[in-house]
Structure 1
Amino acid sequence: MDIAVSALAEAYHSLRHGQHDPARLAEAFAHLAYQALVTEVELTPKPGLVDRRNTGAHHDMDVHTFYASAQALKPWFASFYRCGVSHSDLPADYALLRLREEGLAAERDMFQATAGVNTHKGALFALGLLCAAAGRLVGQGIGPDRESLCEEVARLCEGLVRNELNRQSEAQTAGEHLFQRYGLTGARGEAASGFATVRHYGLPAFEEACLQGVDEEAALLAALLNLMAHNPDTNVVSRGGLEGLAFVQGEAQALLARGGIHAPGFMADFIALDEEMITRHLSPGGSADLLALTWFLSRLPA
């Protein structure tokens, strides 16, 4: 059992007896979020993405950039948790407003650590919400499990798509542009759904593979493959349009149809897909973020 999971188990036990240590629980969630970022970037191979084998379809970052970014963000995850606790009595929409300043400050630290490279903006948004949601639940005397945590994130983000994307004004951000042009809701929509893509595809694939006796790295590859097959990844669309998204989803679905990670030659096929996606300049960064969430949630009670 890793350090964060052990700490969470102890904290949950104490919480049930009204004796939990708030600082210990904040650090446990922060470590869990940090480890999710490290686990994601170290998984290899990942088509089009930075991993230990190559830099994918990116020319301005490598694994060391991601390590620096994750280290810079780690203390902020504890801060998000504490913010959730301190505002646990506020309505969800007001609590989200309080989190924004924290999120922007964390983002500034990320860019400072990476010399301006966007490594974890999407993952920071999602994992920050999860840590804050955990704090809110604990502040209400509830030990967060996967379902309650995702439901709390959905409450925090209710109306986010309507308020921030579905506006009649000219698009100012990449997210607004993709929503207005293609109807894609991206990270906001995923959070507002309580991370439905993770719960319906990433986590089931990961846990099924674990039950089949494969090691964690293979199980994470199974989760990534399922996420790539089903996630309407706005990172892919921003680089390759809907045609690029159709290519990524189609290739992933074809690999699943051949047996996924259990198919003969899967690893060679996945590496070949990596090379093709690099050639096409496609990077499923949204699915990478959801993979980090998959690992994070897999460590919590079901």
Structure 2
Amino acid sequence: MNVQAAPDLVMHAFEKERVINDVLASQADFSRLQPTLKLLKHPALPPDWHRLLNDCYQCGEQHAQQAIALTILPDELLQSSTLWLQGFGLLCAAAGRMAATGQSLTSNRLCDLAGQLCADLPAIDSEVRGGFYTLRSVALPAWRRLQRDRHSYEVCLQQTLLHLLAWKSEVPGVRQQAQRLLWMGGVLGEKGVAALLTLDNELSARQFSWSTLWALLAITGFLARYPAGPIFVD
């Protein structure tokens, strides 16, 4: 083996485990969220989730090294219609490609590249195909402001949830209720967490659901672990 190549292999392996562990951690954080929210009901992850993420990352590496079309992604991802699986899978593929070409991982570049990699793939969620526009325009800016002010993970997630409801819900009444809570400070306002719980219970009673809300927040939590980086790349 080339002696010089050995450190690169070690670094690539370290980077891959870091990315995969960040995905897993962004999901595990939900199980520790107190109080729990009915709005954040999430799917059961496949038992081989770690292996699937690893395969996606390696697909990105191969794409960079062999300049081949990204048609070798795992069948579970290609046949899935769920944002969380497609989103995390393609972000891992993007991370693998970036690491293989020596690029530093930034959230903006990960989102852009994930959208580019799925351009020729059928049945990919519009959020992924659009480079995670909703996350980059609403969720991530809110989350990063809260991070900057050293708020806890729970506050970041709950307040960002309110931002998504306030600006991206398709139900006008839900948008108005979330906006009203934000004007009062959201979960940072007086009795803000209790107000969020009340809203959560009311929306559940009205059978309101947003199937991709958990995925949007989990992916936001993952991307927030990386620097934003430039919006535009030459």
- Band the TM-score falls in, shorter-chain normalisation: 0.7 to 0.9
Seq. identity, %:
28
Query: 2:153 matched to 1:216?
Result: yes
Give the count of matched residue pairs.
222
Tell me the equivalent position of 2:61: 85
Distance 2:38 2:177 in 1: 11
C-alpha displacement of 1:297: 0.7
C-alpha displacement of 1:143: 2.3
C-alpha displacement of 1:46: 2.7
Tell me the equivalent position of 2:185: 259
Query: 2:16 matched to 1:26?
Result: yes
What is the DSSP-based 3-state SS (H/G/I as helix, E as strand, rest coil) of the residue aligned with 2:39? coil
Correspondence list, 1:187-206, <5 A: 188-206=125-143
Correspondence list, 1:47-58, <5 A: 47-50=38-41
Equivalent position amino acid for 2:210 in 1: P
Correspondence list, 1:1-302, <5 A: 18=8, 20-43=10-33, 44-50=35-41, 66=44, 69=45, 72-89=48-65, 94-95=69-70, 97-103=71-77, 121-158=82-119, 164=123, 188-232=125-169, 245-302=171-228
C-alpha displacement of 1:30: 1.4
Summarize deviations over 1:45-68 as a string: whole Å, max 9, x none.
434333xxxxxxxxxx8xxx74xx
Tell me the equivalent position of 1:112: none
Equivalent position amino acid for 2:139 in 1: G
C-alpha displacement of 1:82: 0.9
Residues 263 and 147 of structure 1: CA distance in aligned 2, closer, same or farther (over 3 Å)? same
Counterpart contact for 1:150–1:194, Cα < 8 Å: yes
Summarize deviations over 1:147-179 as a string: whole Å, max 9, x none.
21111012123366xx65xxxxxxxxxxxxxxx
Counterpart contact for 1:153–1:191, Cα < 8 Å: yes
Distance 2:58 2:21 in 1: 14
What is the DSSP-based 3-state SS (H/G/I as helix, E as strand, rest coil) of the residue aligned with 2:214? helix
C-alpha displacement of 1:89: 4.6
Counterpart contact for 2:40–2:213, Cα < 8 Å: no
C-alpha displacement of 1:34: 1.2
Distance 1:153 1:90 in 2: 18
Give the aligned CA root-mean-square deviation in angstroms: 2.8
Tell me the equivalent position of 1:7: none
What is the DSSP-based 3-state SS (H/G/I as helix, E as strand, rest coil) of the residue aligned with 1:129? helix
TM score, norm. by length of structure 2: 0.82
TM score, norm. by length of structure 1: 0.65
